[in-house]
């Protein structure tokens, strides 16, 4: 059963990704007279956007500990909608102003997925989490599909200003809907497990699966940067497509991704009843990396617009299997802290986006688009092989997060006997399974501190 918070997150993320897909199309209209290079403009704006997005991931961990997912989703959606109203004016002004606005837009849009994952952790039961995760991931593809199809048509019929105004208005309407919905109780300060971000990250990185997840998110970030920013330019420069043809050539790819995300979530929730969760994640992640790599290599051999449209659609559609692979794995491993792990891993994803912006436009002009596609295929194959081979460690990695929570809960409950408390902490940290005494301690701690965040998993 899909609840209202999940639907609000889906609507917000769809509008979020629809808004960020407007500029890659509009750039070809602005630069049509040769006053600028569309690929260079897209590359610079994409890099600035992902720089802002990276900043959002760096602060997201602290924000989701302090505020509810619904609050962050509301604030982030309203902020990017307001910035969208300013972007058209900056497009005809100084380039520096445009890049600054793109960075701000990236920061506001970047709060979308961390807040959505926090919202799911707060409101969705474990048995429904696979479908819920698939829905919020597919929302980005739905938004991109709508933008890819509508933006060229609206630009041709009206003006390139109209898509910006449309998505800004949609974002403001969704913000009002989120703010008027039932609000969860605000988190008490310090109720979430908190510690020094760098020391906690080092603790997590000792588990080999966590760096493998970050590598997978880096590769996925490189692919997504291309899919959401450079696919229109690929068809214009490599296949000679016109602006009128772009909508019909590119809208099917996000649609396929959306359908595959949802179907893979339903399939994964069904399989997990008969298999261990990590085995289901291995199957889905293998499909989500091997099939896209094959589609990319096939695209390099095609010369027709229609053939390329088919393989790009299959590429983006099969990428959706990762929703029930690496993305669902975040919830298997980190449970209620999945949004924090996602935010940390998303730093790698956004760093890939920052690099992809200028590098894709430069390499495409010097080496050609086939080289770019081959490099992305290599990212898929390497990251998929590494992550899938380490997925059997997901249950072991999950214990790391549980032990970490116990240690921090004990530190909060110190009451004047630090020596005994330190000894207890050392005992817990050295145990692979919680002892009966530590379980009783956690139970008493939970009764004394009712405001503590409780894992839904």
Does 238 reside within a domain? Answer: yes
What is the Cα–Cα distance from 357 to 291, expressed in whole angstroms? 24
Does 408 reside within a domain? Answer: no
Q: Which of 2-6, 88-92, 217-221 has maximum average pLDDT?
A: 217-221
pLDDT at 437 over 90: no
Full 3-state SS string of the chain: CCCHHHHHHHHHHHHHHHHHCCHHHHHHHHCCCCCCCHHHHHHHHHHHHHHHHHHHHHHHHHHHHHCCHHHHHHHHHHHHHHHHHHHHHHHCCCHHHHHHHHHHHHHHHHCHHHHHHHHHHHHCCHHHHHHHHHHHHHHHHHHHHHHHHHHHHHHHHCCCHHHHHHHHHHHHHHHHHHHHCCCCCCCCCCCCCCCCHHHHHHHHHCCCHHHHHHHHHHHHHHHHHHHHHCHHHHHHHHHCCCHHHHHHHHCHHHHHHHHHHHHHHHHHHHHCCCCCHHHHHHHHHHHHHHHHHHHHHHHCCCCCHHHHHHHHHHHHHHHHHHHHCHHHHHHHHHHHHHHHHHHHHHHHHHHHHHHHHHHHHHHHHHCCHHHHHHHHHHHHHHHHHHHHHHHHHHHHHHHHHHHHHHHHHHHHCCCCCHHHHHHHHHHHHCCCCCCHHHHHHHHHHHHHCCCCCCCCC
Cβ neighbours of residue 226 under 8 Å, at least 6 residues apart? Answer: 356, 360, 372, 376
Does 152 reside within a domain? Answer: yes
Question: CB neighbours (10 Å) of residue 374?
Answer: 16
User: What tens digit of pLDDT does each residue of 2-25 get?
Assistant: 778 888 889 999 999 999 889 888
What is the Cα–Cα distance from 190 to 15, expressed in whole angstroms? 32
Tokens of 419: 């020596």
The whole-model pTM stands at 0.67
User: What tens digit of pLDDT does each residue of 233-246 get?
Assistant: 889 888 888 877 88
Does 433 reside within a domain? Answer: no
What is the Cα–Cα distance from 22 to 250, expressed in whole angstroms? 13
What is the Cα–Cα distance from 245 to 252, expressed in whole angstroms? 13
How far, in whole angstroms, is CA 334 from its chain's centroid? Answer: 16
Mean pLDDT of all residues in 104-120: 88
Give the mean pLDDT of the chain.
79
Question: What does the pLDDT read at residue 294?
Answer: 96
What is the Cα–Cα distance from 279 to 392, expressed in whole angstroms? 7
Nearest to residue 24, comparing CAs of 102, 79, 133? 102
Q: 141 vs 455, which has greater pLDDT? A: 141
What is the Cα–Cα distance from 277 to 285, expressed in whole angstroms? 12
What is the Cα–Cα distance from 227 to 125, expressed in whole angstroms? 32
Query: Which band of pLDDT confidence, cut at 50, 70 and 90, is reported for residue 434?
Result: very low
Does 449 reside within a domain? Answer: no
What is the Cα–Cα distance from 341 to 210, expressed in whole angstroms? 9
Nearest to residue 20, comparing CAs of 79, 102, 78, 111? 102
What CATH number has the domain bearing residue 253?
A: 1.20.1250.20
Question: What does the pLDDT read at residue 328?
Answer: 84
Please tell me the total number of residues recorded for the chain in this structure. 457
Query: Which band of pLDDT confidence, cut at 50, 70 and 90, is reported for residue 215?
Result: very high
Does 75 reside within a domain? Answer: yes
Question: CB neighbours (10 Å) of residue 52?
Answer: 23
Instruction: Report helix angle 95-110 to 112-123, nearest 10.
Output: 10
Question: What does the pLDDT read at residue 408?
Answer: 53
What is the Cα–Cα distance from 454 to 451, expressed in whole angstroms? 9
Q: 364 vs 129, which has greater pLDDT? A: 364
Does 431 reside within a domain? Answer: no
Q: Which of 182-186, 371-375, 422-426 has maximum average pLDDT?
A: 371-375
What is the Cα–Cα distance from 49 to 43, expressed in whole angstroms? 10
The tally of domains found in the chain comes to 1
Question: What does the pLDDT read at residue 390?
Answer: 92
User: What tens digit of pLDDT does each residue of 300-356 get?
Assistant: 998 899 999 999 999 989 998 998 888 888 878 887 777 778 778 878 888 888 888
Does 409 reside within a domain? Answer: no
Domain limits for position 172: 7-181+194-397
What is the Cα–Cα distance from 103 to 350, expressed in whole angstroms? 12
């Amino acid at each position: 059963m899909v609840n209202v918070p999940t639907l609000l997150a889906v609507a917000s993320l769809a509008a979020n990704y629809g808004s960020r897909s407007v500029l890659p199309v509009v750039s070809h209209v602005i630069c049509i007279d040769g006053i600028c290079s569309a690929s260079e403009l897209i590359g610079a704006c994409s890099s600035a956007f992902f720089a802002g997005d990276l900043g959002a991931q760096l602060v997201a961990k602290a924000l989701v500990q302090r505020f509810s997912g619904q609050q962050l989703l509301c604030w982030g959606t309203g902020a990017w909608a307001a910035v969208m109203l300013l972007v058209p004016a900056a497009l005809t002004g100084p380039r520096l102003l445009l890049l600054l606005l793109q960075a701000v837009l990236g920061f506001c849009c970047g709060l979308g997925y961390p807040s959505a994952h926090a919202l799911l952790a707060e409101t969705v039961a474990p048995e429904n989490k696979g479908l819920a995760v698939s829905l919020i991931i597919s929302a980005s593809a739905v938004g991109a599909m709508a933008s890819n199809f509508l933006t060229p048509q609206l630009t041709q019929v009206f003006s390139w200003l109209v898509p910006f105004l449309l998505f800004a208005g949609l974002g403001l309407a969704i913000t009002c809907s989120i703010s008027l919905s039932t609000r969860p109780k605000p988190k008490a300060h310090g109720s979430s497990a908190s510690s020094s971000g760098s020391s906690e990250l080092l603790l997590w990185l000792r588990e080999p699966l966590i760096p493998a997840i970050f590598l997978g998110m880096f590769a996925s970030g490189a692919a997504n940067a291309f899919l959401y920013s450079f696919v229109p330019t690929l068809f214009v420069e490599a296949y000679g497509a016109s602006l009128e043809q772009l909508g019909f050539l590119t809208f099917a790819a996000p649609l396929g991704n959306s359908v595959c995300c949802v179907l893979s979530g339903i399939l994964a929730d069904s399989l997990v009843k008969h298999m261990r969760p990590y085995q289901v994640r291995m199957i889905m992640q293998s499909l989500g990396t091997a099939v896209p790599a094959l589609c990319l290599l096939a695209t390099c051999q095609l010369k027709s617009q229609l053939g390329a449209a088919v393989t790009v659609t299959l590429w983006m559609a099969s990428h959706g299997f990762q929703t029930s692979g690496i993305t669902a794995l975040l919830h298997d491993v980190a449970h209620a802290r999945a949004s924090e792990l996602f935010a940390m891993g998303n730093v790698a994803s956004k760093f890939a986006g920052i690099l992809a912006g200028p590098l894709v436009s430069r390499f495409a002009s010097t080496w050609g688009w086939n080289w770019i596609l081959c490099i992305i295929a290599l990212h898929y194959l390497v990251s998929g092989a590494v992550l899938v081979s380490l997925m059997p460690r997901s249950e072991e990695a999950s214990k790391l997060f549980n032990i970490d929570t116990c240690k921090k809960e004990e530190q909060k409950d110190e009451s004047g006997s630090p020596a005994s408390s330190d000894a207890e902490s050392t005992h817990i940290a050295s145990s692979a399974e919680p002892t009966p005494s530590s379980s009783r301690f956690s139970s008493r701690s939970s009764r004394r501190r009712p405001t503590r965040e409780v894992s839904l998993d």
